[in-house]
Amino acid sequence: MTETEKKEGIKSTSTQSVEQQTRKASINFIVKDKSFEKFAMMMILGTTGDAMDTKMNFFFTFWGLNLLKKNFKPKVAGMPAPMKGMAANMFKKRMKKFGIEDPWAMIKDAVDSGNMKLYPCQMTMDLMGIKREDLLDWVEDPVGAASFLEMSNGGQIVSL
Amino acid sequence: MTETEKKEGIKSTSTQSVEQQTRKASINFIVKDKSFEKFAMMMILGTTGDAMDTKMNFFFTFWGLNLLKKNFKPKVAGMPAPMKGMAANMFKKRMKKFGIEDPWAMIKDAVDSGNMKLYPCQMTMDLMGIKREDLLDWVEDPVGAASFLEMSNGGQIVSL
Amino acid sequence: MTETEKKEGIKSTSTQSVEQQTRKASINFIVKDKSFEKFAMMMILGTTGDAMDTKMNFFFTFWGLNLLKKNFKPKVAGMPAPMKGMAANMFKKRMKKFGIEDPWAMIKDAVDSGNMKLYPCQMTMDLMGIKREDLLDWVEDPVGAASFLEMSNGGQIVSL
């Protein structure tokens, strides 16, 4: 990269209008796994984003959609099979020590404040035969990939 | 990357007119796994992006490069080992019901329209001894990490 | 987060001085796995970014934090269990042929030049009982998710 290119790169970002900047603020996550790790990342990022007043949309696709099912218990992926469930409980206990008493209640707070939104993937629901009533009542209505890309327009996309 | 493409790439990032902004920046995906799930995400995002006239570059690295091999059959990662292959076929059958008859043909359409580009990672080819003729004829020429970062400049990077 | 911090966070996104814009160029990676693949991606992206004079921050969370432990040897995730360790050594040998003699020395060079920064996740250290002295001496001090999101503000977030 030459010096000129670098300077121009900086210029290009500096001309963006205030409107552009506002739309930039959203962070849009793809959640594709059902592991406890992904659940915890979603919870920590979403609630931290809420505290920072940053809009965060989470799009749950493939196995990730399981995380929005009523009473679903995520297991720790990075553990040998027999310990996956136990490890999740262990993490939950340790999290309590750090003030995370009820992760879902914290997520719901962030959702209620309007900063965090949880979107089920419509195609995943169709492919896996999952019905709206299988999912938590307070998540958004299902959307497709096109809607996700549209809402992400101008913001960030992060595939967790 | 041809000289013309390089110049256009530089121009597009350096001028960044309002028109540019509206035209939406490119989305640049890193595909690092060879699973059916990642294949499906690539297909759905790339063809949806094409329908929305959004430029999407996919950079296939590590095991992800396998997806560009001729006759490679991705298996479902999020399933117990004996069901991985079967599950991929099951998903493909269900996808047909939703109008996805031939995923590769849909990808090739998006590639032909110029919005979707599939880049093999040069270093992965070197490290794994994969030759150009092992890959689908119509994917782009291999590029390195630096070229990928350059083409992503001003756009988004998403690691699937 | 205090009210003052929140306001400053909002101010920083709304005013967007040229100085801010320079920080915009940063690419901010979340490293959540301890695999050799993720280690290699971190190394290649970070050192390539340094060569292109792009600021890259890496935030090591969950199992990814292991990569910053002294003498930790990452294993290849995309291989059957008995070959995971062997495969890492095989890749390292092949990388030598392509000029990657000592990956950690290359990473340290990029860190010393000021372009690449490695951040341990504070919550992961707390949850897993990992101490600062367990980690490489020359990585940054641990930070939380809020600090990571703040340093990523205006730049890119990529979850590897």
pLDDT digits (tens, 9 = 90+) for C53-107: 999 999 999 999 999 999 999 999 988 888 888 889 989 999 998 889 999 999 9
> For position B71, what pLDDT does the model report?
92
Contact B31, A30 (CB under 8 A): no
Whether the model pTM is above 0.95: no
The arithmetic mean of pLDDT across residues A89-98, rounded, is: 90
What distances in angstroms separate CA B133 from CA B2, B68, B103, B130, one per listed residue?
20, 11, 21, 8
A67–chain C nearest CA distance, Å: 19
Higher pLDDT, C15 or C149: C149
Between CA A71 and CA B93 the distance in angstroms is 29
The arithmetic mean of pLDDT across residues A110-134, rounded, is: 96
Higher pLDDT, C15 or B148: B148
The arithmetic mean of pLDDT across residues B111-118, rounded, is: 98
Please check whether residue B21 touches A, CB under 8 A.
yes
For residue A138, is pLDDT > 90? yes
pLDDT digits (tens, 9 = 90+) for A4-48: 444 443 334 444 444 444 444 799 999 999 999 999 999 999 999
pLDDT digits (tens, 9 = 90+) for C9-51: 434 444 444 444 444 479 999 999 999 999 999 999 999 999 9
For residue B67, is pLDDT > 80? yes
Is the alpha carbon torsion for A69, A75, A78, A80 positive or negative? negative
Between CA A70 and CA A92 the distance in angstroms is 18
Helix, strand, coil percent content, chain B, rounded in steps of 5: 55, 15, 30
pLDDT band, residue B24 (cuts 50/70/90)? low
Domains of chain B: 27-73+101-159 (3.40.1260.10)
- Report the Cα–Cα distance between both ends of chain C, in Å, rounded: 27
> For position A3, what pLDDT does the model report?
45
Residue B53 buriedness (CB in 10 A; 0-12 / 13-18 / 19+): exposed
The arithmetic mean of pLDDT across residues C150-157, rounded, is: 90
For residue A159, is pLDDT > 90? yes
The arithmetic mean of pLDDT across residues B24-34, rounded, is: 92
Of B10, B15, B54, the CB nearest to A149: B54
Angle among Cα C9, C11, C15 to the nearest 5 degrees reads 130
Cβ–Cβ gap B52/A150 under 8 Å: yes
Contact A106, A45 (CB under 8 A): no
> For position C85, what pLDDT does the model report?
86
Between CA B58 and CA C39 the distance in angstroms is 21
> For position B86, what pLDDT does the model report?
86
> For position A30, what pLDDT does the model report?
98
Cβ–Cβ gap A6/C53 under 8 Å: yes
pLDDT band, residue B83 (cuts 50/70/90)? confident
For chain C positions 51-80, those within 8 Å of chain B (CB to CB) are 51-52, 54, 78
The string of DSSP codes covering A35-51 is: -HHHHHHHHHHHHHHHH
Cβ–Cβ gap C123/A158 under 8 Å: no
CA A41 to chain centre: 8
User: What ipTM was predicted for this assembly?
Assistant: 0.83
For residue B12, is pLDDT > 50? no
Cβ–Cβ gap C52/B146 under 8 Å: yes
The arithmetic mean of pLDDT across residues C108-132, rounded, is: 96
Per the prediction, chain A carries an average pLDDT of 86
Cβ–Cβ gap B62/C41 under 8 Å: yes
For residue B55, is pLDDT > 90? yes
